[in-house]
Amino acid sequence: MIRRPVTIAYIGGGSLNWATKLMADLAHDTALAAHVRLYDIDHAAAERNARIGTRFAEVSNGTPAVYRAVPSLQDALTGADVVVVSILPGEFDDMAHDVDIPARYGIKQAVGDTVGPGGFVRALRSIPMMLPIAEAIRDHAPKAWVCNLTNPMSVLTGAMYHAFPGIRLWGECHEVTKLRHQVAWIANQQAGAQHHSHRDVQVNVLGINHFTFVDAIGLDGRDMLPAYRAFADQHGNSGWSPRAVDPGDEHDLYFMDRSRVKFDMYRRFGIPAAAGDRHLAEFVPQDEYLDTAQDWDFALTPVSYRIRDRTEKRARASALAAGEGAPHADRSDEALVDQIKGLMGLGDFVSNVNLPNRGQMDGLPMGTIVETNALFSSLGVTPLVAGRLPDALHDIVRDHAARQTDLLAAVVENRWDDLFGLFRTDPLVAPLPTDTARLMFHEMVQATSHHLPRDLLREAS
């Protein structure tokens, strides 16, 4: 079999999460012959991951991928077919400020990386980080296909398009997979056998990142919306998860939910919600779900857990790089390798992605970053017409999308005095008195000031 060669530049190549998922997926794949260049400002982490990648290559089902840590962004990008951008905007200590400072003002956040005060300030420090990456892609790999994995997804995808309008970029998120897993489970229960995986489930996706919905569900030519409606009605009060939470597993405690927010939004808006409950809850006023998160069976994830988890992941990665343990060519739930294969002409592939609106979502301005399905083929990434959300949801999405667009514009156009006004209108911030909200904003800006341009720091604070 002829393997399709592909050169992948991985920006953030010292990643402890997404990089190893890509390694496992490439090891599972039999169609690509990948050369992966790992670039990270922490070069030692990229070198560690290159050693881990070599271990995954040893158990490949197809052509073993080749991994190399490179010292510069230019070295990574020159000649790349595909660029993956997966960086952490700052440190977890910065994210702790994004969550903990609002908490002292009475604002609860389950994640704090997309909307709300945490998502807003994360965007302030990450936009200046992403702009030069897009400019480097323009200068060294203008024809490469680019996948952004970094949050806040909508704002940063828009930032890269602003820096390089000709960029061939999509934003990748796996949250819709949660709904597809549920539908596969429903179908398997009906059949009395494990015939289907989430990959067999087709959905029409509408929304913005982490606030996504579907208005059509299909599997094997069947309309699965009636079955999903019955499922949501049955479990609306009790909730549902594919397995019981392990009380000894912190990841389960903080990341698993029972879909009760999804089911409630389906009841309220008449359309299934696709993203995880922790994300969905942050897009609406706090008193709807976040104030009573425990009653809705989801948790507010503390950054202290993320720090402990990172320490454990580093230890496991170091052990794997040193030759301990056994890597497995197990396919993850991520769609990136399938997307790459589609672009390389190895079979068309449809998945949900974040792209500028070119008409795929009705009622939102052109250029707004939206999340819908797109077709990956040798012709490129082609957005598919999704339609329009129900009016009540459309209004929520339009409000957040406009704020994200205006936030990006204010930063890149040096209109720092507009920032607080935008911050103030987020549904989680809006109930605060203006003076209190301003104090919180100034405190959050000061806490992340070491990442901000001097002009932003001076004017915004």
Question: Which residues are known to be catalytic?
Answer: 174
DSSP 113-162: SSSHHHHHHHHHHHHHHHHHHHHHHHHH-TTSEEEE-PSSHHHHHHHHHH
β-partners of residue 69 are 38
Which helix (H) or strand (E) segment is 68 a member of? Answer: strand 66-69
Element (H, E) at 215: strand 211-219
| Nearest of 28, 22, 33 to residue 59 by alpha carbon | 28
Report d(CA 314, CA 351) in Å as an integer: 31
Other residues' Cβ atoms within 10 Å of the Cβ of residue 330: 11
Question: What distance in Å separates the CA atoms of residue 52 and residue 323, rounded to the nearest whole number?
Answer: 8
Q: Please report, for residues 94, 117, 241, 402, the alpha-carbon distance to residue 112 in angstroms, rounded to integers and kept in the order given.
A: 11, 7, 23, 19
Distance CA 395, CA 403 (A): 12
Nearest to 159 by CA among 354, 450, 345: 354
Q: Find residue 170's DSSP bridge partners.
A: 147
Nearest to residue 66, comparing CAs of 75, 57, 74?
Answer: 57
Q: Which helix (H) or strand (E) holds 171?
A: strand 168-171
The residue type at 343: L
